[in-house]
Structure 1
Amino acid sequence: MDIPRVVIAGVRSKVGKTMISIGLMRALINRGYKVQPYKVGPDFIDPSFHYIATGRHSINLDDFMLSKFDLLETFERNFRGADIAVIEGKTGLYDSHNSLDEKGSTASVSKILKSPVIIVADAERINRSISAMLLGYKLFDRDVMLEGVILNRVGNPRHANRVRKSVERLANLKVFGLIPRTSVNMPYRHLGLIPAYERDFEDLLDQLADLIEMNVDVDGIVDLAYKAPEIEEVNENPIFERKNYNLKVGVIRDRSFSFYYQDNIDALANRSKVVVIDSLNDKKLPNVDALYIGGGFPEVFAEELERNRSLRRSIYNFCDEGKPVYAECGGLMFLGESIITRGGEFDMVGFLPIKTRMHVKFQALGYCIYRVIKSNPISKRGDTIVGHEFHYSDVLPLERLEFAYEVKRGKGVDGRHDGILKKNTLANYIHLHVLSYPQMIDRFLRTARRLD
């Protein structure tokens, strides 16, 4: 299968990889290309910028959570109608789920996709030594198609010339761009970038596109992408086949709750009618049969969520009636009694007998492996689920909790368990991708139909 594609990787985090990726995406859009964005790893924030830059939902590619087949499947299925794929890597090129195994790394995903890779390196206050570093990246795994580099934060023209000459001659890597130290500032807070859905970032994206056009060989990157080798064509996963349950599923998707894998939403939409709900402005739940609340930043919007009492009451009643509700991370926080932040304590839905408390340092970060110890609206006892968690909050139980999952890897709620169960509501810190556990969709919908 012929898909023009390129991976934009980094030597490490915070080298400008996201800035360059979204600038390149917008520059290609401005040139008339239909760009399909992708993000390596379990990230929700960078993909929000991809969407704003391209008008297409970014798709997560992660070979720790997904099999090689499923990774290829989602890559190919979501490319339909596009001209070129831009794949933003995660952290450093070879950083993975542990110190030895490549699974979960940008390098591993690039090999599955047989994609050429351009690596971003910080050239500030360095010249010849950068070639030694880049040569190491090139030789570390010769199966990675490392084709070139973009040098970020270069100094004056003399410095730019020296690092270009060094990298091209000593590391034998093509320099696709030399980006000067810039005043363009990317907006950050505790989980990373501020999601693009929260503000108007059009001016920023246009600035980044101009920066790329002025300092990067965009034609050369396009040429490289179009020369990428063919990849194996795989059949579509059956979970994306249309099957009508005649149900409506409410999805709270707004500034507070925006952390969703797009494949999860697409799988639901192929089997039910998805009804989008705004937790800040809608006064009550619409007529739905089930409710899905993703992660996000309820702590940032806690005061506004508290003010929307009528919606909180409507959600409480929905949960109390035994309707199926699935909530992840921020959704878990929202369903509790309150959220405690440095700004105070704010009332939430109040269905789950917990409070959640924000911390300055993250409480958990990484991949999770759980065993299902109690059947629930999305999973069956005895099964194993694999996902990811990243949160700055912890749970303060107000009474004894019933759990669905035993933690084999990760932290969850208390280091041993995750998945708080009450009636047909399941709330957990783990974020699940539908392709890591496809049964979750039909099981969730069958629960709703049984109760209809």
Structure 2
Amino acid sequence: MRGFVLGGVRSGVGKTVAALAIVRALEDAGYDVQPAKAGPDFIDPSHHEAVANRPSRTLDVWLQGTDGLRRNYYRGEGDVCVVEGVMGLYDGDGSSTAMVAEALEVPVVLVVDAAAGMESVAATALGFREYADAIGRDVEVAGIVAQRAHGGRHEAGIREALPDGLTYFGRIPPSGDLEIPDRHLGLEMGDEAALPSEALREAAETLEAERLAEVATEPPRPDAAADSVAGSTDARIAVASDAAFCFRYPATIERLRERADVVSFSPIADDPVPDCDGVYLPGGYPELHADDLEATGTLAELGDRAGEGLAVFGECGGLMAMSRSLTTTDGDRYEMADILPADVTMHDRYQALNHVELEATDATLTAGRGERLRGHEFHYSSADVDDDARFAFETVRGDGIDGTHDGLLEHESLGTYAHVHAESGAFDRFLESVSR
């Protein structure tokens, strides 16, 4: 499967809209498109899936390593893979868009804000191309998509100003219909705020689909010896899946299904906790559904089951739901599952945003003693934990729960602020822990 990376000159330049328009343009031209996202994001991929009708692949050097990144790339399907970048092309020391492009050995199509420029758009693109050589990155900036560019003289001026070696791949016209609402943590999810199909198709028509397909190249294959999954287990895993628990990497669910029996349930719909050996509570937006979570009986039942020894693994929003209480920014307090000895409070500003590395201080659900896990944290809440609380991890990098620790423990359960990917081995360890 050939592919290219869609990089931006900065955050907020319109990469997601450009990615969606490119997916639509390529599909309209007869290509089978696989979307992907550079970085640990859960939200942009939900928009990809809404347009492409298939899960978007997560590609992150820090979370997966080069071989793991390539494995996840090739688990996709299609003729052309469109990889939406994160932040600006070179931004981020854990896994920048440039690092992902370099690991895949595919070219970059640069999204440049052209709302108030023509020759300056070309100068910006040239600078991004030359900067790769200046810092020793093996990154090929092949050309641009002009975001918020008008047609006619504006478009012609941008095209004519581009120097040799930089291709014009089209434009995204300025349109109020091509704006995705946002909130804390980023854009609204794809099933909440899908772009109007007519506006997206109009944007697709201003892109040069054949040129985009032609620039795509095929990445190297991963190491075949490392591309194997351990055998199946006898575990049955219940995964929370609804609007409150919606931050799940496709590869994580795939890994669980490859090695165990997986069943879904919805805490906000008052589903009973399924008969299972372990529960996975992904991240999401429990703070937006706290009243439903308190009113239904699912979390209370989950707390009782955890007290009886059922292993519950929660990440970020999952940790919040496992706590005693959740207090929103309005000051409203809601009872949660009461598994972990903590009370969680939401804030107006984010409390942590980083690639993280954790070292297990003892054997736990997701790691053996002394093992390290790499993950990502991004949350607007803080957890006030009891003085005698037990932690599973020391933070080698990142903030964790209290600045030096992550992984709150109680009974057989574990709650972390860090999100981890299947390539970390954490979910294999989880399955092996609960299937004994």
TM over 0.5: yes
Q: Give the SS at the match of 2:319.
A: helix
What stretches of structure 2 of length at least 5 have no aligned partner?
Answer: none
* Equivalent residue, structure 2, for 1:104: 95
The answer to whether 1:265 aligns with 2:253 is yes
2:159–2:168 Cα contact (<8 Å) kept: yes
Mapped pair 1:231 → 2:220: yes
User: Distance between the aligned counterparts of 1:236 and 1:340, measured in 2?
Assistant: 48
1:222-248 CA distance string (max 9 Å, x none): 1222xx25624532745535x232221
In structure 2, the residue corresponding to 1:270 is in which secondary structure? helix
Q: Secondary structure at the match of 2:86?
A: coil
Correspondence for 1:100: none
Q: Secondary structure at the match of 1:21?
A: helix
Q: 1:6 corresponds to which residue?
A: 4
Q: 1:256 to 1:26 in 2, by over 3 A?
A: farther
Identity, % of aligned pairs?
33
CA distance in 2 between counterparts of 1:267 and 1:137 reads 37
What are the residue-to-residue correspondences of 1:21-420 with 2, within 5 Å?
21-76=19-74, 78-79=75-76, 81-97=77-93, 103-142=94-133, 143-155=138-150, 157-166=152-161, 168-169=162-163, 172-184=165-177, 185-197=179-191, 199=192, 201=194, 204=195, 206-225=197-216, 228-229=217-218, 231-235=220-224, 237=226, 240-241=229-230, 243-308=231-296, 310-343=297-330, 344-420=332-408
The AA in structure 2 aligned to 1:181 is P
Query: How far apart, in 1, do the equivalents of 2:193 and 2:160 lie?
Result: 39
In 1, distance between residues paired with 2:226 and 2:304? 36
Q: Aligned partner of 1:70: which letter?
A: G
Provide the C-alpha distance between the structure 1 equivalents of 2:15 and 2:72, rounded to a whole number of angstroms. Answer: 23
- On the 8 A contact 2:329/2:345 being kept in 1, the answer is no
Deviations along 1:282-316, whole A, 9 cap, x unmatched? 431111111001111111111121111x2112111
Aligned residues of 2:18 and 2:172 also touching (Cα < 8 A)? no
Name the amino acid aligned to 2:399: K
Does the residue aligned with 2:122 lie in a helix, a strand or coil? helix
CA distance 1:363–1:233, change in 2 (3 Å): closer
5+ unaligned residues in a row in structure 1: which ranges? 98-102
Is the 8 Å Cα contact of residues 212 and 218 (structure 1) preserved in structure 2?
A: no
TM-score (norm 2): 0.94
Alpha-carbon distance, 1:214 to partner: 2.3
Decide whether the 8 Å contact of 1:36 with 1:83 is kept in 2.
yes
Separation in 1 of the partners of 2:293 and 2:240?
Answer: 12
Cα shift at 1:179: 2.4
Contact persistence 2:147–2:171 (CA under 8 A): yes
TM-score by length of 1: 0.90
CA-to-partner distance for each residue in 1:84-118, whole Å, 9 max, x for gaps? 21111111111122xxxxx5111121122121211
Distance between the aligned counterparts of 1:316 and 1:380, measured in 2?
Answer: 25
Letter aligned with residue 360 of structure 2: V
